[in-house]
Amino acid sequence: MNETIQSLPDGWTIYIWLVTGVLIIIGVIVAIRWAAKNDQFDEDIKYLVFDENDRDKMDPEEFKKAQLVLKEQIKKREEKLREEMARKMKKGHR
């Protein structure tokens, strides 16, 4: 193996760096695309950690926003669960 590597012409390592760089860029693009499709860039997600017990610790507008975001997330989750159930039911009937 060592002889094979040493018999290669000078400058061959740049190609390894280029291929590695391209693979990293492709991985980053795939990860960003996945994150965008799955609402990972949603700034309002921070409000999901609050509940009714935090009302006195927050501004009224902030608390209202937190409750709205929570309702929206619950709605999204219910829709996703319905879609999964429908997909499973379809799959089961085949």
Please give the Cα distance from 69 to 81 (Å, whole number): 18
Alpha helices by DSSP H, the chain:
2-7, 13-37, 60-93
Torsion of CA 30, 36, 41, 46, to 10 degrees: -110
Residue 93 has what pLDDT? 64
Distance CA(58)–CA(66), nearest Å, equals 10
Question: Long-range CB contacts (< 8 A, 24+ apart) of 22-30?
Answer: none
pLDDT per residue as tens digits for the range 2-38: 788 778 788 888 899 999 999 999 999 999 999 998 8
pTM: 0.56
